[in-house]
Amino acid sequence: MFSKSWCLEIEIGLEQKQVLGIINSTVEAPDANNRAEFQSWKSQQGIVQWTILLAMERSFWQQYAVLKDAKKRWDQLKQTNKSKLKTNASLLQGKMSARMLQDCKNV
């Protein structure tokens, strides 16, 4: 689904667009009373969200489109990826163990 290289590509793209701070917690939402700063931040949010969505397969859009905050969307993507990698590693380890046991019986 979303590999480390995919995440790195997105982070590099966001850095080039000067909006990486939105997802790495170095830029936080300003006070909504400061209209100019808040509008700039909202615009940056839109750039991040659009960049992430464009880099995803459309089949995943609905699953992640419910999140309106770019950082939350990014964190969920990364968490989903970690969970799937751990599950895949456990399955692979189990298959390898079973294969080793089978090979030992054949010796």
pLDDT tens-place string over residues 23-82: 888 888 899 899 999 999 999 988 988 888 888 777 776 666 666 778 877 887 777 766
pLDDT tens digits, one per residue of 80-90: 766 554 444 45
Q: Sorting pLDDT into bands at 50, 70 and 90, what band is 106? A: low
User: Rounded distance, CA 39 to CA 80, Å?
Assistant: 30
Q: Where are the domains of the chain?
A: 4-106
What pLDDT score does 85 carry? Answer: 44
Measured CA to CA, the distance from residue 27 to residue 40 in angstroms comes to: 12
Q: Tokens 């456990």 sit at which residue?
A: 90
The whole-number pLDDT of residue 71 equals 83
**Residue written as token pair 């006070």:** 31
